[in-house]
Each structure stands twice: as C-alpha cells, then as structure tokens.
Amino acid sequence: MPFEPINPPQFPTPIAPYSAGAKAGNTVYVSGVLALGEGGVVLHVGDAAAQTRHILDVIAITLEAAGATMADVAMNHIFLKDLNDYAAFNQVYAQYFPGDKPARYCIRADLVKPDCLVEIASVAHIG
C-alpha cells in the first residue's frame, strides 16, 4: 500500500532524511518528535514538562495535517533521557489524553541531542 508523506509547512526542516509523518490508508505514523526549533536548536533546555508540551503540540499538528486528532492516537512510543522526569512527563501527557488512553511504552534512552529530554512517536487510526 502506498503512503502519503505528511510534512506540515510550518515545521522547520527535519534534521535528518525523514517526514514528520506518513499516512497509509487510515493509519497515521508520526515520526519521533523532539523539542526542536529552526536549525535543530533544542527548545526548553532542562525542562522535561515544557519539552513534552511542545512535542505533543507538534504531534497534534502533524495528525491534523493527515486528517486525524489526538483522540485517534492508539499507540505512543516514549523515550526519556532520565526516568527522574517521568512524573513531570506524565503530568503534561495526561492533559493531552483526557479520555481513553492510548497504549504506550516508556523507556530510558540516549536521545539524538544531549539537551533533548523527551522523544515521542505516535500511531493513530482514523475512523
């Protein structure tokens, strides 16, 4: 099945060769999102909650460009640089998924930039 790349025009140029998302049928895959600005500058250095908020806003914009919403998210893949940020992450995360909660996993991992504290990739099903 062919897929449609999803690259909202308001996003900065990706720091590697990938699309922000891809839509295949009724499924939307959102690439791993970091709190990055133009030129790959890390935003909200040292603040896991603010990075989480930024990331989830970017995911919502990507989903919207594909015809989906956060309510369509079925799975989140979560990477934290430091598990001490787990509580701050969850406090923000819960605000974006107030109803039925998507499946997820959360692991500690080194991220592509040292000042990145959180990365999230999502899968959504439309309809």
Average pLDDT, the chain: 95
Band (pLDDT 50/70/90 cuts) for residue 1 is low
**Residue range(s) defining the domain that contains residue 37:** 4-125
pLDDT tops 70 at residue 16: yes
Over residues 70-79, mean pLDDT = 98
Predicted local distance difference test score (pLDDT) of residue 55? 98
Over residues 46-72, mean pLDDT = 98
SS (H, E, C) 10-78: CCCCCCCCCCCEEEECCEEEEEEECCECHHHCECCCCCHHHHHHHHHHHHHHHHHHCCCCHHHEEEEEE
Query: Which CATH number characterizes residue 75's domain?
Result: 3.30.1330.40
The total number of structural domains that make up the chain: 1
